[in-house]
């Protein structure tokens, strides 16, 4: 008997049919992969399965019983566990409290903290997160939060596990660990629905794959026997000749950014790096290796940092993002929901946020100009929407990512720092975004690209700086690109730690 059977599932949003009579069946112990372009309807499917949205038509059965969840609590009750695409942790509570929020261990109504922390520590160890369960969630980086979300889904009884892009910010180390857990779970008969834009993962973990396109079911197949090219064709309806655009040799210009003796905190190791005009510099490292913190510090997002940052030879103070933007820097944050998007404003408003002078005069907005420039960008980035006046909240995750990216493209600064630029973006659009980034470099801009997706860095960068344990462990020029070498550098700081 199938674990889950979905038939004719339909969900309409104003102006768009997100799911159009989709069928799906999930067998016990299988990892069923769901793929599709940005806006294809994957997350909508997840929201229907988890009781957050009520479908307009169609039925679901869970282990043969009618399944019609009205709320997230219903789904939980039925043993359906979900890791959503966007993080939904409570920032002020501790990791442990977040993990067990729905079933806090207690004695006569009083929370049993020692039991809570013990259980939390076990779970964290399982997902490979070396962290005190008492840490408030707001102090975590996005990958750590993602791991907490995963751990949360594993806390408690589970018959069907649904994961919506759990690995978008994870490095291979964490991903590997997650797959081990999934294999262990499926061995006990638990079924998994798994969504990812990293196609190589499908071959590693998937048993069957279902492809959605424009809300419609395209095909369901056994993974074994499929090729990447076939998958891509199912997804985007056309062939993708190359995974990465060609990197043309570029003339490097003057030094755009020089960072000297940057210290995130007074006790942290000091960091130095430089970016030249026309250069694409990759930043690699494991989760929590200090990459994001360093970028934030360069941009002046955190006050506690010290050191010298020069843009075009002129010192820029690390006080406030405003100074950084004025000096000609852009910064695409890794967490689009918390630090990037203004969900209740339109696509156009979000895209102009870092570039308001260009669409205004004497402090008055020129809304026509704003809409025009946003439309052009949306076209370029292939944002699937009902027009640039639509609220960002109603966009799919990948399309939201394109909007934040669009904001910084609009700002048109000399130096772009992009943290996980293609997080949640489908293979087709990925190629185009990579092309866009390379075009910028061709036009003489400097780029710092942070990514947990090593092939991405190897695909588009001129050199890669590798972070390990808060310090720069080394640098690899394009001529010597080699995944092994980068990974070894990324681990080096930790190995030293063990040796001592």
Partner 1 sequence: MTAVTAPRAVGGRWASQVLGEAGIGVALVALVAFFLAFAPYFGTSQNVRDIMTQITINTILAVGMTFVILVGGIDLSVGSVIALCAVVAGTAMTDSGLPTALAVPFAILVSVVIGAVTGFVNGFVTERWVVPSFIVTLGMLYVARGAAQQYTGAATIYDLPPGLTRFGTATFAGLPAVFVVAMLLVAVAWFVLSRTVFGRLIYATGNNEEAVRLSGHRTSLIKVACFVIGGACVGVAAIIYMARLGVASPILGQGYELNAIAAVVIGGASLAGGRGSVVGTLLGACLLGVLSNGLNLMGVSDFQRTMVTGAVIIVAVVLDAYRRRLSVRLS
* Residue the block writes with tokens 């909240």: 393
Q: State how far the Cα of 461 lies from the Cα of 489, in Å rounded to an integer.
A: 17
- What does 146-175 look like in DSSP terms, one character per residue? HHHHHHHHHSS--SEEEEESTTTT--HHHH
435 touching partner 1, by CB under 8 A: no
Residues 294 and 264 sit within 8 Å (Cβ to Cβ): yes
331 touching partner 1, by CB under 8 A: yes
Q: State how far the Cα of 276 lies from the Cα of 255, in Å rounded to an integer.
A: 4
DSSP tag of 270: P
- What does 372-417 look like in DSSP terms, one character per residue? HHHHHHHHHHT--SS-TTSBGGGS-HHHHHHHHHHHHHHHT-SEEE
Q: State how far the Cα of 236 lies from the Cα of 215, in Å rounded to an integer.
A: 13
Q: Could you say which residues in the range 326-385 bind ligand ATP, by CB under 6 A?
A: 384
How long is the chain?
Answer: 500
Q: Which pair of tokens denotes residue 57? A: 């038509």
Q: Could you say which residues in the range 396-455 bind Mg ion, by CB under 5 A?
A: 396-397
Binding test (CB under 6 A) with ligand ATP, winner from 185, 247, 394, 436: 394
Binding test (CB under 5 A) with Mg ion, winner from 50, 85, 350, 452: 85
Closer residue to Mg ion in complex, CB, 89/415: 89
Q: Find the helix or strand (DSSP H, E) in which 182 lies.
A: helix 172-187
431 touching partner 1, by CB under 8 A: no
Sequence-ordered list of residues with C-beta below 8 angstroms from that of 402, at least 6 positions apart, any chain: 38, 378, 381, 382, 383, 425, 429, 433
For residues 259-286, one letter each, b for 16 or more C-beta atoms within 10 angstroms of the residue's C-beta and e for the rest, the string is beebbbeeebeebebebbbbbbbbbbbb
322 touching partner 1, by CB under 8 A: yes
Q: State how far the Cα of 351 lies from the Cα of 124, in Å rounded to an integer.
A: 38
- Alpha-carbon torsion, ordered 154, 158, 160, 162, to 10 deg: -20
Q: Could you say which residues in the range 273-302 bind partner 1, by CB under 8 A?
A: 299, 301
339 touching partner 1, by CB under 8 A: yes
Binding test (CB under 6 A) with ligand ATP, winner from 20, 32, 39, 325: 39
x/- contact string, 26-55, with Mg ion (CB under 5 A)?
Answer: -----------------x------------
70 touching partner 1, by CB under 8 A: no
Closer residue to partner 1 in complex, CB, 205/349: 349
345 touching partner 1, by CB under 8 A: yes
**Partner whose binding site includes residue 325, from partner 1, Mg ion, ligand ATP, none (CB under 5 to 8 Å by kind):** partner 1
Binding test (CB under 6 A) with ligand ATP, winner from 40, 150, 170, 437: 40
44 touching ligand ATP, by CB under 6 A: yes
Residue 491 CA from chain centroid, whole number: 22
Q: Which pair of tokens denotes residue 25? A: 């069946």
201 touching ligand ATP, by CB under 6 A: no
379 touching partner 1, by CB under 8 A: yes
Q: State how far the Cα of 379 lies from the Cα of 186, in Å rounded to an integer.
A: 42
303 touching partner 1, by CB under 8 A: no
Q: Which pair of tokens denotes residue 73? A: 């609590």
Closer residue to ligand ATP in complex, CB, 69/285: 69
Q: Which pair of tokens denotes residue 176? A: 């590997």
Q: State how far the Cα of 172 lies from the Cα of 200, in Å rounded to an integer.
A: 12
**Nearest to residue 13, comparing CAs of 50, 47, 37, 64?**
47
Closer residue to ligand ATP in complex, CB, 18/489: 18
422 touching ligand ATP, by CB under 6 A: no
SS3 for 51? coil
406 touching ligand ATP, by CB under 6 A: no
Applying CB under 8 A, which part among 128-136, 231-239, 249-257, 320-328 lies near partner 1? 320-328
Closer residue to partner 1 in complex, CB, 52/115: 52
x/- contact string, 31-50, with partner 1 (CB under 8 A)?
Answer: --------x-----------
398 touching partner 1, by CB under 8 A: no
Applying CB under 6 A, which part among 138-146, 252-260, 394-402, 464-472 lies near ligand ATP? 394-402
Binding test (CB under 6 A) with ligand ATP, winner from 36, 55, 421, 428: 36
Q: State how far the Cα of 263 lies from the Cα of 309, in Å rounded to an integer.
A: 11
Closer residue to partner 1 in complex, CB, 385/468: 385
Q: Which pair of tokens denotes residue 419? A: 């943290």
Applying CB under 5 A, which part among 77-85, 233-241, 261-269, 480-488 lies near Mg ion? 77-85
SS3 for 473? strand
Q: State how far the Cα of 345 lies from the Cα of 400, in Å rounded to an integer.
A: 12
Closer residue to Mg ion in complex, CB, 288/396: 396
Terminal-to-terminal C-alpha distance of the chain = 54
Closer residue to ligand ATP in complex, CB, 24/277: 24
Binding-site ranges for Mg ion (CB under 5 A) = 43, 85, 396-397
Binding-site ranges for partner 1 (CB under 8 A) = 14-16, 39, 214, 299, 301, 320-322, 324-326, 331, 333, 338-345, 349, 353-354, 356, 360, 363-365, 375, 378-379, 382-388, 407
Binding-site ranges for ligand ATP (CB under 6 A) = 13-14, 16, 18, 36, 38-44, 85, 384, 394-399, 424, 426
């Amino acid at each position: 008997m199938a674990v889950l059977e979905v038939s004719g599932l339909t969900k309409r949003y104003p102006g768009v049919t997100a799911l159009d009579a989709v069928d799906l069946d999930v067998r016990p112990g299988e990892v069923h992969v769901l793929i599709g372009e940005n806006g294809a309807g994957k997350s909508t499917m997840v929201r229907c399965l988890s009781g957050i949205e009520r479908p307009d038509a169609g039925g679901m059965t869970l282990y043969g019983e009618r399944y019609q969840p009205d709320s997230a609590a219903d789904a939980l009750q039925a043993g359906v566990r979900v890791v959503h695409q966007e993080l939904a942790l409570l920032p002020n509570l501790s990791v442990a409290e977040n993990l067990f929020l729905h079933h806090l261990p207690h004695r006569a109504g009083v929370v049993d903290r020692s039991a809570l922390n013990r259980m939390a520590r076990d779970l964290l160890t399982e997902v490979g997160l070396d962290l005190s369960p008492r840490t408030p969630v707001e102090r975590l980086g996005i990958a750590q939060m993602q791991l907490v979300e995963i751990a949360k889904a594993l806390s408690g009884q589970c018959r069907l596990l649904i994961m919506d892009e759990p690995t978008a910010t994870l490095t291979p180390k964490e991903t590997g660990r997650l797959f081990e857990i999934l294999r262990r779970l499926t061995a006990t008969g638990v079924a998994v629905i798994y969504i990812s834009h990293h196609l190589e993962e499908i071959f590693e973990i998937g048993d069957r794959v279902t492809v959605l396109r424009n809300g419609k079911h395209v095909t369901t197949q056994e993974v074994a026997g499929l090729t990447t090219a076939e998958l891509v064709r199912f997804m985007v309806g056309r062939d993708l000749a190359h995974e990465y655009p060609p990197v043309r040799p570029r003339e490097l210009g003057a030094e755009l950014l020089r960072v000297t003796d940057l210290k995130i905190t007074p006790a942290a190791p000091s960091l130095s790096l430089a970016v030249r005009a026309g250069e694409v510099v990759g930043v690699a490292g494991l989760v929590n290796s200090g990459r994001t913190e360093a970028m934030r510090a360069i941009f002046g997002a955190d006050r506690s940092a010290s050191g010298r940052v020069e843009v075009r030879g002129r010192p820029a103070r690390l006080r406030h993002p405003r100074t950084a933007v004025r000096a000609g820097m852009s910064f695409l944050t890794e967490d689009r929901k918390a630090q990037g998007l203004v969900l209740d404003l339109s696509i156009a408003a979000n895209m102009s946020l870092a570039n308001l002078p260009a669409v205004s005069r004497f402090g008055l907005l020129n809304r026509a100009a704003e809409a025009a420039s946003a439309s052009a960008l949306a076209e370029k980035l292939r944002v699937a929407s009902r027009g640039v006046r639509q609220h960002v909240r109603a966009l799919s995750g990948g399309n939201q990512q394109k909007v934040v990216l669009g904001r910084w493209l609009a700002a048109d600064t000399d130096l772009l720092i992009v943290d996980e630029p293609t997080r949640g973006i489908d293979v087709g659009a990925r190629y185009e975004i990579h092309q866009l980034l390379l075009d910028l470099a061709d036009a003489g801009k400097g780029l710092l690209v942070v990514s947990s997706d090593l092939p991405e860095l190897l695909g588009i960068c001129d050199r890669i700086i590798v972070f390990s344990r808060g310090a720069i462990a080394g640098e690899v020029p394009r001529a010597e690109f080699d995944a092994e070498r980068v990974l070894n550098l990324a681990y080096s700081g930790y190995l030293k730690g063990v040796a001592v």
